[in-house]
C-alpha cells in the first residue's frame, strides 16, 4: 500500500500515516479511480480522497471490471494470433514437404485428383485450388502415418485420379506437424506455383485470352 501511494507522489511519512489510519480497501479504491480523474495534483487528490472518506467503491469496481475485460480481450487476441501463426507455419511446412515429395507428373496427378473446376468458370481456379491439394495431402498423409509422404501421396493420387466421386479435401481445422523435408530451406510458395503449372497443363484450352476489339482486330 505504501509503495502504491508513493508511486503517485505521496510523501513517505504521509503514505505511512494513511496506511496506518485507513482501511486498505478505501486506499485501493481511491488509487483505482485516480487515473480516470486526470488530476493535475494526483498526490493531493489521493490524500484528500482517502482522508475525507470519499465514496469511490462502486466507481472503482466498474473500473476494475472494465480493466479485467480489456485484459481478457487482449489475452484472447494474442492467443488467437498465436494459433493462427502456428497454423500458417504448419501449412507452409506441409506445402514445402508435399512439393518436395512429388515429381511434376505426380504433383499434376494429385492436383487433378483433389481439385474440380469452379462452377461458372469451367476451369480450376488457382486461388481456390491451391488449398485443395494441400488439404487432400494432409488428410491422405495423416491417414497413413507409417508410410513415407511420397508413397502415401503417390499411391492415393494414382489410384483415384479418375474417380469422379473424389471430392476436394478441406484443410483440417487442426493442422498436424508437417513432416521434415530433405531440404530445410524449401520454399513453401513453390507449392502454389506448381499448382498453377499443373492447372495450366490440365486445362490448356481454357487459359484466359486477351479480348478482341470490334472488327476482329486484336487489342494493341
pLDDT, tens digit, for every residue of 45-83?
999 999 999 999 999 999 999 999 999 999 999 999 999
CB–CB of 35/12 below 8 Å? no
Question: In which band, very low, low, confident or very high, does the pLDDT at 171 lie, cut at 50, 70 and 90?
Answer: confident
Please compute Rg for the chain using Cα positions.
Answer: 32
H/E element, 220: none
Q: What number is the average pLDDT over the span 41-45?
A: 95
The answer for residues whose C-beta is within 8 angstroms of residue 15's C-beta and 6 or more apart is 1, 2, 5, 6
The better pLDDT of the pair 163, 138 is held by: 138
Q: What number is the average pLDDT over the span 142-152?
A: 85
- Grid coordinates given for 182: 530433405
Question: In which band, very low, low, confident or very high, does the pLDDT at 200 lie, cut at 50, 70 and 90?
Answer: confident
Question: Considering only CA atoms, which of 53, 47, 52, 48 is closest in space to residue 10?
Answer: 47
- Grid coordinates given for 83: 494459433
Q: What number is the average pLDDT over the span 102-109?
A: 86
Q: What number is the average pLDDT over the span 26-38?
A: 94
Please state, as a whole number, how many other Cβ atoms lie within 10 Å of the Cβ of residue 19.
Answer: 17
**Distance separating alpha carbons of residues 186 and 102, to the nearest angstrom:** 13
The better pLDDT of the pair 20, 103 is held by: 20
The answer for residues whose C-beta is within 8 angstroms of residue 112's C-beta and 6 or more apart is 157, 161, 198, 202
- Grid coordinates given for 61: 469496481
Question: Considering only CA atoms, which of 109, 116, 100 is closest in space to residue 201?
Answer: 109
- Grid coordinates given for 144: 497413413
Question: In which band, very low, low, confident or very high, does the pLDDT at 183 lie, cut at 50, 70 and 90?
Answer: low
Amino acid at each position: 500500500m505504501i509503495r502504491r501511494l508513493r508511486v503517485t507522489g505521496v510523501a513517505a511519512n504521509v503514505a505511512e500515516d494513511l496506511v496506518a489510519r485507513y482501511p486498505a480497501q478505501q486506499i485501493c479504491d481511491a488509487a483505482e479511480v485516480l487515473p480516470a480523474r486526470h488530476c493535475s495534483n494526483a498526490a493531493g487528490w489521493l490524500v484528500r480522497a482517502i482522508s475525507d472518506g470519499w465514496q469511490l467503491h462502486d466507481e472503482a469496481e466498474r473500473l476494475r471490471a472494465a480493466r479485467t475485460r480489456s485484459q481478457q480481450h487482449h489475452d484472447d487476441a494474442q492467443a488467437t494470433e498465436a494459433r493462427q501463426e502456428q497454423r500458417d507455419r504448419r501449412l507452409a511446412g506441409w506445402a514445402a514437404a508435399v512439393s518436395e515429395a512429388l515429381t511434376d507428373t505426380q504433383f499434376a496427378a494429385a492436383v487433378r485428383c483433389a481439385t474440380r473446376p469452379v462452377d461458372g468458370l469451367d476451369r480450376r481456379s488457382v486461388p481456390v485450388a491451391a488449398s485443395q491439394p494441400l488439404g487432400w495431402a494432409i488428410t491422405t498423409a495423416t491417414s497413413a502415418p507409417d508410410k513415407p509422404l511420397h508413397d502415401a501421396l503417390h499411391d492415393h493420387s494414382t489410384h483415384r485420379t479418375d474417380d469422379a466421386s473424389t471430392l476436394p479435401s478441406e484443410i483440417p481445422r487442426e493442422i498436424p506437424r508437417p513432416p521434415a523435408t530433405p531440404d530445410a530451406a524449401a520454399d513453401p510458395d513453390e507449392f502454389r506455383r506448381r499448382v498453377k503449372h499443373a492447372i495450366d497443363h490440365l486445362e490448356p484450352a481454357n487459359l484466359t485470352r486477351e479480348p478482341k476489339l470490334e472488327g476482329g482486330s486484336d487489342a494493341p
